Homo-oligomer: A and B are copies of this chain.
């Protein structure tokens, strides 16, 4: 059975910025043998996320850097074909860090969760019911802590995380303002994701002016996926007691060395604001609660999502480059 070969996308060279197609190669490998406590997962969808740039490039990150020769780390979703772990049974569906490959042997540490929303598409477990949705949920509600009536600004507002942030903030009664790149994404923000206002940061008009018009009462919560010029402009208009959730820094291709910019210390002091970085994995004990909320909102039609699905593992090597070029329209997935 030729499908029972394991194709793996591995890191062939280390870029100093955005990983390109040519930084990866595809190899064939045996189906892994299971150790005690492991499960064998057949991946059905692989994820491509902006954070993967940092996993490859940055020396200082929250996980060990990916070495040349390693199969690319990624979230993936699939079904269990064999189990040597009493908590998991063949046939069950799971999401976790299974890598860019057809088959993965995974221990408990790699498994993020069982996927039990059988009425919803499996691919959602990598998007709005996966790391994107969970990141939006905890970053907004636990780090941003919006109160009804407050103004929430989101960067990369039409993206997989940003679009969920905007919609959850709206569900919580906030005024939501999205910052996105280009007229198509601005239109998605307004028409599909229900933002009260959306700003095209690529437009020639002044970003400070646009924010002032969109946020007449100032900014209470900033969910930041970009750093850089958008971050700086938002910071200038935060209210006293604002919360700034640092989720991503997509406007820079590298942080070696640290990028320079205006120092926030004085303004944080004057506004008594909080700037806080977070990682969704720190909230793992509460994933079930969040998935129940998110799935409920999806079923009610209050939490919309877009997916951009590429077919075939050979699409994986170019997917990170595609993300950073803004060439995706929705959560980018590779279907196997």
**Contact present for A246 and B265 (CB under 8 Å):** yes
How far, in angstroms, from A273 to B274 measured CA to CA in the complex?
Answer: 10
Q: Which residues of B contact A204 (CB under 8 A)?
A: none
**Contact present for B258 and A267 (CB under 8 Å):** yes
Minimum CB–CB distance from A111 to chain B (whole Å) comes to: 22
Q: Is A7 an interface residue (CB 8 A)?
A: no
**Contact present for A276 and B277 (CB under 8 Å):** no
Minimum CB–CB distance from A136 to chain B (whole Å) comes to: 15
Closest residue of B by beta carbon distance from A227: B265
Closest residue of B by beta carbon distance from A276: B274
- Kindly supply a per-residue 1/0 record for chain A positions 251-279, scoring 1 wherever the CB is within 8 Å of any chain B CB and 0 otherwise: 01001011111111111111111111111
**Contact present for B248 and A258 (CB under 8 Å):** no
Minimum CB–CB distance from A41 to chain B (whole Å) comes to: 28
**Contact present for A277 and B282 (CB under 8 Å):** no
How far, in angstroms, from A270 to B248 measured CA to CA in the complex?
Answer: 10
**Contact present for B270 and A61 (CB under 8 Å):** yes
Known interface pairs A259-B262, A260-B261. Does A269 touch B282 (Cβ–Cβ under 8 Å)?
Answer: no
Q: Is A224 an interface residue (CB 8 A)?
A: yes
Q: Is A315 an interface residue (CB 8 A)?
A: no
**Contact present for B276 and A273 (CB under 8 Å):** yes
Oligomeric state, in number of copies?
A: 2
**Contact present for A282 and B275 (CB under 8 Å):** no
Q: Is A11 an interface residue (CB 8 A)?
A: no
Query: Which of A62, A227, A246, A268 has the most C-beta atoms of chain B within 10 angstroms of its own C-beta?
Result: A246
CB-contacts of A261-301 with B (<8 A): 261-279, 282
Closest residue of B by beta carbon distance from A281: B272
**Contact present for A224 and B265 (CB under 8 Å):** yes
**Contact present for A278 and B272 (CB under 8 Å):** yes
* From B231, B271, B278, contact of A277 by CB (8 A): B271
A–B Cβ pairs within 8 angstroms, 16 of them: A58-B266, A60-B267, A60-B270, A227-B265, A246-B268, A249-B265, A252-B266, A258-B263, A259-B263, A260-B260, A261-B261, A264-B264, A268-B276, A272-B278, A273-B276, A274-B276
